[in-house]
Amino acid sequence: MIEVDKNLKKSKLLIYLVSVFAIILWGISYIWTDMLINLDIPVFYFVFVRILLAGIILFLFNATKGRITRIRRKDLPKFLLLALFEPFIYFLCESYGLKETGSPTLSAMIIATIPIFSIGAGMLFFKEKINMANIIGILLCIGGICLVVMSRDEIGENVIFGIILLVIAVLSEVGHASITKSLSFNYSSQIIVMYQFLIGSVYLLPLFLTKGLENFSMDYLSAEVLYPVVCLAFLCSSLAFSLWVSTIKSLGVAKSSIFSALIPVVAAIVAWILGHESLNARQFVGIAVSTAGVILSQYTARQDKVSQT
């Protein structure tokens, strides 16, 4: 019994480490995406190249390992919907939302509301139990995030349109997490993400050909552009999404989304480390509050499982 408890704790610790690592990569992705936008690289260009490259990387990885699994006919609609939610809707709305608001900070704050919507999805579709302590943890997390990202960033002229796009991105992420949860019991994480990106690249292809290449120049193939695109494809798509499927499968839609709410916190810390912006005492307090909120929500989740056994 003691050995079982130790193994359970080790597996939980591994899931938390995997979750944090994926969140760190996604936090850094805001910096790379903002770099591409500042270089005036079309969103339809770099999103398509990122997604296609990520799909190819995972295909080669799975083929090398002999793990290619065909999609069951009954699951095909789920994969088509999964790729529609993310990457198609999510990445386009997130990237254009960031561009239209003109503020990575404001964009990150809106994306951080994902747990609020995920609670409903988890309870409705997967009967996930959420108690008052979980809700307090989520509110603490979001409150801390607000302390971290509140700043005087300049905003774009089309800020309202940008906010609408970001809200759509949030809803698409909730749909993505819900479908991923249902598929994770029959397919490995690398297979799910591989098909997700390959199908998503097909969705994005017409926009890439018509909009992404509209003003194409050799600058699009420069090291200055390819470096962030490759980083986004390999680290933030292939690797981070594969790790995230394990998180959703183990923690559920609602609990895993609490970790995703920390993305803007990570983005702020990375920007501070790289010297892109400074953090004041209020923001450091926000980081502490957000971390406490995540710990609280996950601690109560473990207690709930113990009480059920």
Write out the two tokens for 220.
């699009």
| CA 199/CA 154 separation, integer angstroms | 36
pLDDT of 6 higher than 60 = no
pLDDT of 22 higher than 80 = yes
pLDDT of 32 higher than 60 = yes
pLDDT band per the 50, 70, 90 thresholds, residue 299: low
Residue 48 pLDDT? 94
What's the rounded mean pLDDT across residues 192-219?
93
**256 within 8 A of 297, measured Cβ to Cβ:** no
Residue 266 pLDDT? 80
**169 within 8 A of 89, measured Cβ to Cβ:** yes
Write out the two tokens for 50.
């990122």
In terms of Cβ atoms closer than 10 Å to its own Cβ (0-12, 13-18, 19+), residue 139 is: middle
269's CB contacts (< 8 A; 6+ apart) are 27, 279, 287
What's the rounded mean pLDDT across residues 285-299?
73
Q: Rounded to whole angstroms, what are the CA distances from 177 to 48, 115, 142, 195, 278?
A: 21, 11, 19, 15, 33
Residue 272 pLDDT? 79
Locate the domains of the chain by residue range.
19-130+154-251
Write out the two tokens for 36.
């591409």
Q: How many CA atoms lie within 13 A of 66 on its CB side?
A: 0
Query: Higher model confidence: residue 218 or residue 163?
Result: 218
Query: Higher model confidence: residue 167 or residue 192?
Result: 192
In terms of Cβ atoms closer than 10 Å to its own Cβ (0-12, 13-18, 19+), residue 156 is: middle
Q: In the predicted model, what is the mean pLDDT of the chain?
A: 81
Percent of the chain exceeding pLDDT 70 equals 80
Which segments of 127-223 are extended strands (E)?
none
| CA 106/CA 27 separation, integer angstroms | 14
Lowest mean pLDDT among 12-21, 159-168, 295-304: 295-304
Pick from 100-104, 120-124, 158-162, 294-298 the range whose average pLDDT is largest: 158-162
Write out the two tokens for 24.
């760190």
Q: How many CA atoms lie within 13 A of 208 on its CB side?
A: 15
Percent of the chain exceeding pLDDT 90 equals 28
pLDDT band per the 50, 70, 90 thresholds, residue 3: very low
Residue 9 pLDDT? 62
